[in-house]
Structure 1
Amino acid sequence: MTHYKLTSALLALALVGTASCSHAEEPGSGEPRPRVIETVEAHGLEVLGEFEAPGGLRGFASLAGGQQPVAVYVTPDGDHAMVGTLVNADGEDVGQPHLQRLVAKPMTERIWAQLEDSHWVADGPDDAARVVYTFSDPNCPYCNRFWEAARPWVEAGKVQLRHVMVGVIRPDSINKAAAILAAPSPEAMLARNERDFSRGGIQGVATVPQRARTQLDANQRLMHELGFQGTPGILFQDAEGVIQRRAGMPAPGDLPNVLGPR
């Protein structure tokens, strides 16, 4: 079963009410849209669709912070909303399959398309069974550890890492990242930096070309948009095809979840 952790902001939203009984029409639905949904949206949730819920409640699938699927349950009077997990007598999350269908899959498709359009360097074969994106800084020791840990999967042809280059750790990080992106073979330059990491890695360019700077700025914006404040920021799809993320170097026991069977 998939579990979704509520942030403090969502906990504050756990029970929302409105004094008004007026309703707005839900596009494409025969039922009016409860006004309390407007209150929920004002607190930062993006409501994406409605689903059937038990006990006379109306269920709404939403997205928090552009990343976290969250269920909203509206009371029969339409004036109150509960945000979070609703379980049945068997302990099952009744909203989870609806969130999967209405939020998680569309969210995965959107984020995956953004990653594909970013400026990344391939590490591994194009026909690998699994693709893993990682926001990488050339001076990041944990990025280097992840690169090293992934070698058995990459060298066996099972995984292609796609390094979305950023320059955020040291003043010369952007110069090194630009040297990788602007190299005749970015793949070879990236590999050289990782192999020589303990000796300082590659030499950065003296002046960052405008094209590389634009690419790196776009990558950094995407990194922050996806909720990562540091590197590595790792994204992959699980067995159900839903995007998962790891902030930082995964624990050894977590590597098969990230990279697949060894």
Structure 2
Amino acid sequence: MIEQIPKRLFQVALVPATILAGAAQAQTYPAAIQSLEQQGVRVVESFDAPGGMTGYVGEMQGRSLAFYLTPDGDHVIVGTLLDAQGNNLSAASIDELVTGPKFAEAWSQLEESHWVRDGSADAETVVYTFTDPNCPYCYRFRQQAEPWIDAGKVQLRHIIVGILREDSLTKAATILGSDDPEAALHQHMDTYEQGGIEVDRKRVSAAHMDVKANDRLMQDLGLQATPSTLYKDGEGNVKMVQGLPNPQALQRMMGPRP
């Protein structure tokens, strides 16, 4: 459910600087980096990379990526850089320079979005997750989170979106437009395998614009899959997990299993 960086970028993993030799550019980046800009990449920051390379992080179509200028300055490599221990250096750079600051800034937008509370209002940990009513992974994530929710440890805030199927919008608006959205969400989860909540046109009319606003927020954040979940780690840094979290990620976001 997680889209890949457009294939055409990988097809030019080595870009000769001569492609844009002599082209007038307002930026001061080397020509090999300018060639990526021509393909729609927005350069965010540069950093020192191993092997004498210069690393860059950027965004394309809402997705973050890392690329590396070779020491001769004539070629740029797009992709993942691993060290001898297999650590993903690209992901660390992207998180530090792009996604971390972006999601930290977005936290207030999450708070102000149209979400449904799932769990105790007094829970110590608050987790935001983009949920489509027709998403099987959202359903499974809610099952995974249940021990923390039932123990009063975690409040899961579902930002309800309608993007996966034709009736996702109407189901989402039925939940959001309910007199008791939390009860409606639980009703939907309890009956998910039988098709979920029954669409109520009155509720849809009341809340469909709220669902569309959630859809736009998800798109603006460059999130490509449901569930996409944001939380704060022990140091207060905003982290994001896209897709169904594994057990280790689940404990990082929610703490030790109750």
Normalised TM-score (structure 2):
0.74
Distance in 1 separating the partners of 2:5 and 2:124: 32
Instruction: Tell me which residue corresponds to 1:70.
Output: 66
Kept after mapping to 1: 8 A contact 2:53/2:68: no
Counting only pairs closer than 5 Å after superposition, residues 77-226 of structure 1 correspond to structure 2 as 78-86=73-81, 98-168=93-163, 172-197=167-192, 201-207=196-202, 210-224=205-219, 226=222
Deviations 1:127-156 (A, max 9, x none): 534333333234555433332332111122
What amino acid is aligned across from residue 69 of structure 2 in structure 1?
A: Y
Q: Secondary structure at the match of 1:50?
A: strand
What amino acid is aligned across from residue 183 of structure 1 in structure 2?
A: S
Deviation, structure 1 residue 209: 5.0
Counting only pairs closer than 5 Å after superposition, residues 42-57 of structure 1 correspond to structure 2 as 42-53=38-49, 56-57=52-53
Structure 2 gaps, min length 5: none
Distance in 2 separating the partners of 1:190 and 1:219: 16
Alpha-carbon spacing, 1:84–1:207, altered in 2? closer, same or farther (3 Å):
same
1:41 aligns with 2:34: no
What amino acid is aligned across from residue 16 of structure 2 in structure 1?
A: G
Alpha-carbon spacing, 1:206–1:92, altered in 2? closer, same or farther (3 Å):
closer
Kept after mapping to 2: 8 A contact 1:108/1:243: yes
Q: Percent identity?
A: 39
**Count of aligned residue pairs for this structure pair:** 249
Distance in 2 separating the partners of 1:159 and 1:13: 45
Kept after mapping to 2: 8 A contact 1:23/1:34: no
Structure 1 gaps, min length 5: 27-31
Instruction: Tell me which residue corresponds to 1:17.
Output: 16
Q: Secondary structure at the match of 2:15?
A: strand
Q: Per residue, is there more helix in 1 or in 2?
A: 2
1:234 aligns with 2:233: no
Alpha-carbon spacing, 1:237–1:43, altered in 2? closer, same or farther (3 Å):
farther
Q: Please identify, of 83-92 and 217-226, the stretch whose mean Cα deviation from structure 2 is larger.
A: 83-92
What amino acid is aligned across from residue 46 of structure 2 in structure 1?
A: E
Instruction: Tell me which residue corresponds to 1:29.
Output: none
Q: Secondary structure at the match of 1:16?
A: coil
Deviation, structure 1 residue 121: 0.7
Distance in 2 separating the partners of 1:126 and 1:89: 46
Deviation, structure 1 residue 120: 1.3
Distance in 1 separating the partners of 2:29 and 2:223: 30
Alpha-carbon spacing, 1:120–1:93, altered in 2? closer, same or farther (3 Å):
closer
Distance in 1 separating the partners of 2:24 and 2:82: 28
Deviation, structure 1 residue 235: 1.4
Distance in 2 separating the partners of 1:194 and 1:252: 21
Q: Secondary structure at the match of 2:230?
A: strand
Distance in 2 separating the partners of 1:90 and 1:146: 31
Distance in 2 separating the partners of 1:97 and 1:141: 29
Deviation, structure 1 residue 48: 0.5
Distance in 2 separating the partners of 1:252 and 1:100: 21
Deviations 1:205-230 (A, max 9, x none): 2245555121112223444553435x
What amino acid is aligned across from residue 54 of structure 2 in structure 1?
A: R
Q: Please identify, of 43-52 and 121-130, the stretch whose mean Cα deviation from structure 2 is larger.
A: 121-130
Distance in 1 separating the partners of 2:90 and 2:204: 49
